[in-house]
Amino acid sequence: MEFNNRPSLMIVDGMALLFRAFYATSVSGQFMYNSDGVPTNAVNGFVKHFFTAVANFKPSHVAVCWDMGSKTFRNELFPAYKANRGEAPEELIPQFDLVKEVVASFDVPNIGLAGYEADDCIGTIAVHAAKNETDVSILTGDQDILQLIDDRISVVLLKKGFGNYVVHNQESFFEEKGIMPKQMIDLKAFMGDSSDNYPGVKGIGEKTAIKLLQQFEHVDGVVANLEQLTKAQKAKIEADLEMLYLSRKLAEIKTDVPIEYDLNQAMFQFNKEKALDKFAQVGMRGLERFIDIEKAWA
């Protein structure tokens, strides 16, 4: 495999890929049990997404980040954070460990830290790598990750099917949203996030929030200029001021998580036979063409 002189790191949002793969097939009951009775549908789909992206973007380095339990520092800040989410489906639960075993067989590091979300590990690694002149792409289906876009950090959003992506950099993000990527944190502070179960400011939606951020740049700028807002906007923000600032803390991806990480360990040195042995061991079939990396690199 040949790479450009400058390293390029692909950080894979393991949770996003695994959940996407699970729900794509579980709807029709295609759980693909192995001989031990363990479902493999999510891991199977994860592998397809993973290698399709690696073949498309040809990174020199790859790492995968995971949540390490359901409770994080955000639950301490706001106990209702993500409280609207049910337990993971029983067919998915054994696949959390299985997928990490499979990733390890690719000689790709699995990274996660209790008390933090995968997003925080992704943010920490991305910012550190970018500072060291590494080009970073983040593979995910999660729009929250867009706040990390920077000069050297792009986000590859998965679309329906395999190999369909929207790649965002600073220019494309600004063109679409009218604000800079970092302002997404302030946008979510106003809007809240129903999927993560925090409210933001009641009655302030995306359109209004974007206008306020275009005019005043960030939450502090808006709050410092409340007298310039309409009476209704001022009243809504004043009524939910505490929640506005709390929502901003919940929305911001941390980039200083104390994880142990070495870029050299993420160099992509894939051994096809080792992966095939692992697939055979865990009873996963039909993946050979997806892992034919040498052909994809040619």
Question: Does residue 141 share a domain with residue 44?
Answer: yes
pLDDT of residue 69: 86
Q: How far is CA 255 from CA 131, 136, 149, 176, 270, in A?
A: 12, 14, 12, 25, 28
Beta strands 165-168 and 153-158 are: antiparallel
Question: Does residue 130 share a domain with residue 221?
Answer: no
Asked if residue 14 is part of any domain, the answer here is: yes
Asked if residue 1 is part of any domain, the answer here is: no
Mean pLDDT of 72-98: 93
Predicted confidence (pLDDT) at residue 295 exceeds the cutoff of 70? no
Asked if residue 295 is part of any domain, the answer here is: no
Predicted confidence (pLDDT) at residue 247 exceeds the cutoff of 60? yes
CB 29 within 8 A of CB 53: no
Question: Does residue 241 share a domain with residue 139?
Answer: no
Q: What is the pLDDT of residues 11-50, one digit of tens each?
A: 999 999 999 999 998 877 788 999 899 999 999 999 999 9
Sign of torsion over alpha carbons 268, 288, 292, 280: positive
Question: Does residue 163 share a domain with residue 41?
Answer: yes
pLDDT category of residue 285 using cuts at 50, 70 and 90? confident
Question: Does residue 221 share a domain with residue 237?
Answer: yes
Asked if residue 296 is part of any domain, the answer here is: no
Question: Does residue 151 share a domain with residue 45?
Answer: yes
Mean pLDDT of 174-179: 96
Predicted confidence (pLDDT) at residue 107 exceeds the cutoff of 90? yes
The DSSP element (H or E) to which 167 belongs, if any, is strand 165-168
Predicted confidence (pLDDT) at residue 3 exceeds the cutoff of 60? no
Question: Does residue 244 share a domain with residue 199?
Answer: yes
Share of the chain above pLDDT 70, in %: 96
pLDDT of residue 297: 54
CATH number at residue 56: 3.40.50.1010
Mean pLDDT of 105-114: 96
Predicted confidence (pLDDT) at residue 87 exceeds the cutoff of 90? no
pLDDT category of residue 1 using cuts at 50, 70 and 90? very low
Predicted confidence (pLDDT) at residue 296 exceeds the cutoff of 60? no
Q: What is the tally of structural domains in the chain? A: 2
Q: What is the number of alpha carbons within 13 Å of residue 159 lying toward its C-beta?
A: 6
Question: Does residue 90 share a domain with residue 130?
Answer: yes
Range of the domain at 189: 183-251
Asked if residue 100 is part of any domain, the answer here is: yes
Question: Does residue 23 share a domain with residue 86?
Answer: yes
User: In terms of Cα–Cα distance, which of 194, 148, 191 is closest to 173?
Assistant: 148
User: Residues with Cβ < 8 Å from 26, sequence gap 6 or more?
Assistant: 41, 89, 91, 92
Question: Does residue 226 share a domain with residue 80?
Answer: no
Asked if residue 2 is part of any domain, the answer here is: no
User: 63 forms bridges with which residues in the sheet?
Assistant: 11
Question: Does residue 81 share a domain with residue 170?
Answer: yes
Share of the chain above pLDDT 90, in %: 83
CATH number at residue 210: 1.10.150.20
pLDDT of residue 2: 40
Nearest-10 crossing angle of helices 41-57, 93-105: 40
Question: Does residue 267 share a domain with residue 155?
Answer: yes
